[in-house]
Amino acid sequence: SPMAGSPEISITVRCAASGFEWCSVRLPPQASVAELRRRISAGRPAELGAGAHGVHLFHGAALLREGSTLELSGLGDGSEVGVVRVDPLGAWREGTLRWRTVTVPQPTYYTGLRVHAVGRDRLFGFPEDAQWSVGRVKRRAGVSDFWLIGADESSADYAPEGALPDGPRFVGLRRLPLPLPEGHTVTFASFDDGILSVTVGEAGGRHALWHRFRLHATDDDLGRAHYETLVWAPRGLGDRPWVRPPSECYGGFVARESHQRKAGRLQRLMTVQDAEQTVLSEFEIEGGHVGQGVQALGQDYMLCGGEHAGEDAFYDMRLFNWRTGELIRTVNLGFDPGYVESDWDRGLLLGSSQSFYITFGNAGGDSCSVVFCTPE
């Protein structure tokens, strides 16, 4: 590891508004801001929420970028970092929403890639199943079927073919093959807390081999993303092969939805509770389907499926202030096919762009799409 043997520095983390000390973190100067964010999240999970995408980190007045090192950020000798809460849906209130679709040349099942938000407004994705069929054609996942898709890249160096030059921020796409022989097939893949665990079969062999890699994918330059090979240590694999924070949980808040009959009319209720299950807000919304409710949750705002949602899909979204129950805006889906099926992967990216993502397979099964909706 490039940080092996480096002297560690001590960083005090405080709430920028109150000055209250949240925690103290020790890291090498060459560690990334993204690693600092992960350590802070582990130390104060209730305040930061799933993935810590609802805060900005500052050193003095300077916003810390996830891809930078602590040393380059002015923290080489240790210092204090201020944390500022940011509602991950705050810019959705009034901002213009920009829809962008990235076509990934990866055969998949109709649900598309299984993706994980890894920070720096990027997704890490791979086929959901080790093997699947498209018509009569059977396909198997290989060591090259792993991808990084970005919604907020600083250059067009990795802009996919056909993408519009819509800077100053660009979409990015990069295939990130495993550091294994090309002929191997993937029989199992699990991604959790930055660690990719896979089993692979050798070409023509009968035995599966286990491997573990740490993904490094938060450098500002997408081209620097890479795997770090780890010593294999099997722990609870197979229990939850696809792990990601639920979008209905944020910063100690949990949103629940239910139906109840009142005055002869069926009401759809949205309830937000804190970590102690104290009800903070409860309000009724019109229409929709109970299974298409909360898509993303922030400190004040909630993104829900639209009024005409059904059991299998929704066709627009609505932004509510969950503290007051006020409907802020209706969001039309600005991409083809113009609906989101219930089993398509979706959620908020971890980063500063406040982008919402949706993934699905394309007709014919030879490619898939990743759609980003980003407020401007």
**What domain range includes position 193?**
113-237
Verify that 82 and 117 share a domain, yes or no. no
* Whether pLDDT at 128 is above 60: yes
The pLDDT of residue 310:
82
pLDDT digits (tens, 9 = 90+) for 171-229: 999 999 999 988 888 988 999 888 999 998 876 556 678 899 999 998 889 999 999 99
The pLDDT of residue 110:
82
Verify that 117 and 221 share a domain, yes or no. yes
Q: Is residue 208 part of a domain?
A: yes
% of residues, the chain, pLDDT over 70: 84
Whole-structure pTM value: 0.79
Verify that 200 and 149 share a domain, yes or no. yes
Given 202, 237, 272, the domain boundary residue is: 237
The pLDDT of residue 247:
53
pLDDT digits (tens, 9 = 90+) for 249-270: 565 688 888 877 677 666 788 8
The pLDDT of residue 41:
67
Average pLDDT, the chain: 82
Q: Give a three-class secondary structure readout of the chain.
A: CCCCCCCCEEEEEEECCCCCEEEEEEECCCCEHHHHHHHHHHHCHHHHCHHHCCEEEEECCEECCCCCECHHHHHCCCEEEEEEECCCCHHHCCCCEEEEEEEECCCCCCCCEEEEEEECCEEEEEECCCEEEECCEEEECECCCCEEEEEEECCCCCCCCCCCCCCCCEEEEEECCCCCCCCCEEEEEEEECCEEEEEEECCCCCCEEEEEEEEECCCCCHHHCEEEEECCCCCCCCCCCECCCCCCEECCEEEEEEEEEECCEEEEEEEEECCCCCEEEEEEECCCCHHHCEEEECCCEEEEECCCCCCCEECEEEEEECCCCEEEEEEECCCCCCCEECCCCEEECCCCCCCEEEEEECCCCCCEEEEEEEEC
Task: Over range 28-57, report the average pLDDT.
Answer: 66
Verify that 142 and 58 share a domain, yes or no. no
Q: What is the domain-level CATH number for residue 60?
A: 3.10.20.90
The pLDDT of residue 243:
33
Verify that 31 and 146 share a domain, yes or no. no
pLDDT class of 233 with cuts at 50, 70, 90:
low
Q: Is residue 2 part of a domain?
A: no
Task: Over range 262-288, report the average pLDDT.
Answer: 82
Verify that 223 and 122 share a domain, yes or no. yes
* Whether pLDDT at 3 is above 60: no
pLDDT class of 289 with cuts at 50, 70, 90:
confident
pLDDT digits (tens, 9 = 90+) for 342-362: 889 999 998 888 999 999 999
* Total domains in the fold of the chain: 2
Of the given ranges (10-14, 201-205, 229-233, 371-375), which has the lowest mean pLDDT? 201-205
% of residues, the chain, pLDDT over 90: 35
Given 24, 51, 86, the domain boundary residue is: 86
The pLDDT of residue 124:
97
The pLDDT of residue 166:
67
Q: Is residue 330 part of a domain?
A: no
Task: Over range 221-245, report the average pLDDT.
Answer: 64
Given 216, 237, 258, the domain boundary residue is: 237
The pLDDT of residue 244:
38
Q: Is residue 334 part of a domain?
A: no
